[in-house]
Structure 1
């Protein structure tokens, strides 16, 4: 037990140091250095060194009590700043997933309508390309059966200049995998997993997921939790990017930190959301039969919409 507590204490100390103290210390150092340097002399190392020497020469810095008090205040401020970043990270994650607060909901609805129009136009182009390809295939089949038949009207454009159906489908999927109902790509990507599962299996993922989670092996738990943690970590880094806007007001190089941190966090969040959604769909594909069996629903071969609809009726309990 003593060894276990010692190991646990070491892990907690490492976590506290890496997640709370170090990022907060870096932020405070940037804010303090920026307040000394300012916009006019952003890289003046001599000015910064002079200010540090002046502070070190004051009588208070030679008092052990003062040094301990300042160190404690700096550590507390670092931890508090990191906690603030964690709270802001939750807000950043909600914004990325399209769950916007009430004052921003008119803008969210307008953005959702715009994304839906773009998706509908891209989907129409994709379906037209599919129809045109089917017609060309039918024409080629007729020509093969009747090679002496007169040619039809000449093509108005070169087929090589037309985008392929795969390219049109990819262009549509870059907007969303299903018709957008959220103002952001990340929010729609998660909802698309729900829609695709219901379309394929008639399973209400909201009702089925807690029960399905209980049936998963530890390996699947770890993969899904890692993807979810990656999204939370990216949102936290995005929050740090927002916090660096404040020192950027008096020290412009901090604006570079904002741009790099926010861009990297946003790209990582998109990857994490995509991976999480893929894992959720894969979980239903691989373990949907296990859920049906656990509920007493016969599913001898592959899971189909018939068994999925019975799962949904059972889990909703008439709701």
Structure 2
């Protein structure tokens, strides 16, 4: 029994160790190594060539005592692992920062106004294209309508609810759509809804969230790689290129996938949230919006009113399979 327990613990620790070791921190340290080779190590490479320089550096390392070599290897592994753990620890506040939750109010207001003007311009350009039938548009107009629809969907319609970053607007727009459709506040209801989701759905949501955090780690490693410009100035434009590619090419796409999954969870499983809380199920969309707002209020601040009456939980589902009773007489 204890052997199985320690084996399980060791397996989990090894998985976490490997996850931290092979993290996006490798990008940062590889960039530092490349910058050092381009700066400090470049004269040796020019004098001996790549193969000769590698032999000289290897001979210098093998000439050290065995304990020093072992300490160097262990120190390198600890450095990479600690860097990965540090990235994972700060990934959540980094995501919040990329959403636009800063303490600097003036830059937030300026960026929000700038993105707001761009969103309003996209809405104005989309309206005449959306009003026309699809068969009356050519291929370029259809592609333009699709691009504009995606960009309009990626920002809240209400200017007061917009964020100062495109990434934050993608997440905020998803929250606003859930509120508008069902009256449920996802910030309040999501922890409760999470408890009734099937395991397969949870795994999909966790994977999408992990993709967002992983891309955020790549972005911050790209930004931090600019410090290697002390050895070569090429590090600065390359770090900007990596950070911009991670943000615009991958982070926004990962955020859209994640928000689509969150909205799908509310689309498919919100009735289970009602039933688990013994809240009466609404009968039509207008009633659902009102019920969702009342349920959100009940979850956030409670209620002492005698209504609505709690509904009885639904009975067990009928059995399925070859032995299940048929519906015929």
TM-score, normalisation: structure 2: 0.72
Deviation at 1:120? 2.2
Q: Residues 34 and 298 (structure 1 numbering): CA distance in 2 closer, same or farther, change over 3 Å?
A: closer
Question: How large is the Cα RMSD of the aligned pairs?
Answer: 3.8
The aligned counterpart of 1:149 is none
Q: Residues 70 and 302 (structure 1 numbering): CA distance in 2 closer, same or farther, change over 3 Å?
A: same
- Per-residue Cα deviation, 1:211-230 (whole angstroms, up to 9, x for no partner): 21122111221111111111
| Alignment check: 8 A CA contact 1:204 1:312 kept | yes
Alignment map for 1:24-43 (pairs within 5 Å): 27-28=28-29, 30-32=31-33, 34-38=35-39, 41=42
Which one of the candidate residues 288, 294, 310 is aligned to 1:310? 294
| Alignment check: 8 A CA contact 1:60 1:66 kept | no
- Give the Cα–Cα distance (whole angstroms) in 2 for the partners of residues 50 and 82 of structure 1: 33
Alignment map for 1:33-182 (pairs within 5 Å): 34-38=35-39, 41=42, 44=45, 46-47=48-49, 49-55=51-57, 57=59, 61-86=63-88, 89-90=91-92, 92-100=94-102, 102-103=103-104, 105-127=105-127, 167-168=144-145, 170-171=147-148, 173-175=150-152, 176-179=154-157, 181-182=162-163
TM-score, normalisation: structure 1: 0.74
| Alignment check: 8 A CA contact 1:231 1:272 kept | yes
Q: Residues 247 and 296 (structure 1 numbering): CA distance in 2 closer, same or farther, change over 3 Å?
A: same
The aligned counterpart of 2:196 is 215
| Alignment check: 8 A CA contact 1:93 1:232 kept | yes
In structure 2, stretches of 5+ residues that fail to align are: 304-329
- Give the Cα–Cα distance (whole angstroms) in 2 for the partners of residues 211 and 16 of structure 1: 32
- Give the Cα–Cα distance (whole angstroms) in 1 for the partners of residues 66 and 187 of structure 2: 59
Deviation at 1:201? 1.6
The aligned counterpart of 1:139 is none
Deviation at 1:261? 3.9
Deviation at 1:14? 4.2
- Give the Cα–Cα distance (whole angstroms) in 2 for the partners of residues 166 and 229 of structure 1: 31
Q: Residues 271 and 71 (structure 1 numbering): CA distance in 2 closer, same or farther, change over 3 Å?
A: same
- Give the Cα–Cα distance (whole angstroms) in 2 for the partners of residues 43 and 270 of structure 1: 42
- Give the Cα–Cα distance (whole angstroms) in 1 for the partners of residues 98 and 61 of structure 2: 50
- Per-residue Cα deviation, 1:186-238 (whole angstroms, up to 9, x for no partner): 21111112211111122222222222112211122111111111111111111
The aligned counterpart of 1:201 is 182
- Give the Cα–Cα distance (whole angstroms) in 2 for the partners of residues 23 and 281 of structure 1: 29
- Give the Cα–Cα distance (whole angstroms) in 1 for the partners of residues 61 and 207 of structure 2: 51
- Give the Cα–Cα distance (whole angstroms) in 1 for the partners of residues 123 and 192 of structure 2: 35
Residue range with higher mean Cα deviation, 22-31 or 283-292: 22-31
Q: Residues 174 and 52 (structure 1 numbering): CA distance in 2 closer, same or farther, change over 3 Å?
A: same
Q: Residues 61 and 15 (structure 1 numbering): CA distance in 2 closer, same or farther, change over 3 Å?
A: farther
Alignment map for 1:16-27 (pairs within 5 Å): 16-20=17-21, 27=28
Q: Residues 169 and 114 (structure 1 numbering): CA distance in 2 closer, same or farther, change over 3 Å?
A: farther
- Give the Cα–Cα distance (whole angstroms) in 1 for the partners of residues 278 and 61 of structure 2: 79
Tell me, what secondary structure is at the counterpart of 1:280? helix
